[in-house]
Amino acid sequence: MKITRLDHLVLTVADLEATVDFYTRALGMTVRAFGGGRLALRFGDQKINLHEAGHEFEPKARVPRPGSGDLCFVVEEPLAAWEEHLAELGVPLVAGPVPRDGALGPMTSIYVRDPDGNLVELASYTG
């Protein structure tokens, strides 16, 4: 018995439109509707399903709430390019670049917050 990969995760959000705007514009994800109008953010081979606070789908987390996430995304572009891109969009850095230990070893990360205050880490294994 073993798990092979993460397929998706769920974020509970206060404002679907603001969340979709941030993740598509700032992070380059795409949005797709599925299953009766539900929304998901797609990137690579994964997705983030979005639940609007107060209108979550069952089953759900025991205490779903906006702003309780701490996510790490691996990026291909240099972090300096991400810093420039985010600055152009008015997205402030919370921290970084800083060294971190990722699932595959040492990496360098920068941090921002999404509209709900979730911590979003952008990490590079090449520095």
What percent of the residues of the chain are helix, what percent strand, and what percent coil, each to the nearest 5? 15, 40, 45
Catalogue the active-site residues.
121
How far are the Cα atoms of 7, 30, 70, 93, 94 from residue 87, in angstroms, in the given order?
Answer: 30, 21, 21, 8, 12
